[in-house]
Amino acid sequence: MPQHLALRLASPLIAFGGETIDNLGVIQQFPALSMLAGLLANALGWDRSETAAHQRLQDRLRMGCRLEAPGSRLTDFQTAQLGANDRGWTTRGEPEERRGGVASYNSPHLRYRDYHADLSALVLLRLEPAEESPTLAELAQALDRPRRPLFIGRKPCLPTGRLVAGWVEADDLAGALQQWPVAPGTDSAQPLRVQWPDGEGRLPKDRRSDVCDERNWRSGVHGGWRAVREAELHLKEVQA
């Protein structure tokens, strides 16, 4: 029976980013496959120039998600007047310089960024093929001892605790999402929203949809569509 790695994504602010439009940084309900690939690659200490390694990891990832505390949404209005000699902080330890001509420094940068506030999500991962490196065990070790600081979607979104929650064996991701025990304090009156790849099992009253959440790591842009299923789980349908 396949083994799945369970992660707990929790933070005062989380950004499950969607398609950015102009200066609007929107979010979506569930984490993107590319976000998880980037999080794992960051823990492994990979450089962004290692595009083939990033692409292979994303291609191997099978991911399901269960929202245990959906939280609320807020919009942060950001403005910054930066000079030609200003530098930005990066997790790789090297300052990031601004690009563009002289006119790019004349006006402040104005941005709107959406965030999930007080969200907690259970993410279950599997790799295919399982024996290829990095393995799930290697990813779990890297998340516990990351090579660089980790964040959930955007740099301000630092995890509040250990990301690795444990392991579960299940035939598919839909079954794994049902098997994992509910976190203490979960509101029993509210169903749990879940999402998993199409072809990874079925749940009552689930529905199929397409999401654009895969990154082409060679070109640096998102494209294409991935089929997923979404449903609501009631606590009686989850392993006690």
What length does the chain have? 240
Q: What is the pLDDT of residue 38?
A: 95
DSSP 95-107: PEEP-S-GGGGSS
Q: Output 66 or 48, whichever has higher pLDDT.
A: 66
Give the confidence band of 18 by pLDDT, cuts at 50, 70, 90.
confident
The four Cα atoms 50, 157, 17, 113 give a dihedral, to 10 degrees, of: -120
**Single-letter amino acid, residue 94:** E
Percentage of residues in the chain having pLDDT higher than 90: 61
Percentage of residues in the chain having pLDDT higher than 70: 85
Residue 95, pLDDT > 70, answer no
Instruction: State the average pLDDT over residues 61-79.
Output: 90
Task: Quote the pTM value.
Answer: 0.85
Residue 240, pLDDT > 60, answer no
Query: Which residue from 17, 49, 1, 54 is spatially nearest to 154, judged by alpha carbons?
Result: 17
Q: What is the pLDDT of residue 70?
A: 82
CB-based contact 144:150 (threshold 8 Å): no
Residue 181, pLDDT > 80, answer yes
**Single-letter amino acid, residue 160:** T
Residue 213, pLDDT > 80, answer yes
Residue 83, pLDDT > 70, answer no
- According to CATH, the topology of domain 3-79+106-237 is Alpha-Beta Plaits (3.30.70)
CA distance 192 to 77: 30
Rg of the Cα trace of the chain? 19
Lowest-confidence region among 25-39, 69-83, 155-169, 222-236: 69-83
Q: What is the pLDDT of residue 145?
A: 97
- State how far Cα 237 lies from the chain centre: 25
Q: What is the pLDDT of residue 156?
A: 87
How high does pLDDT run on average in the chain? 87
What residue ranges do the domains of the chain occupy?
A: 3-79+106-237
- State how far Cα 83 lies from the chain centre: 32
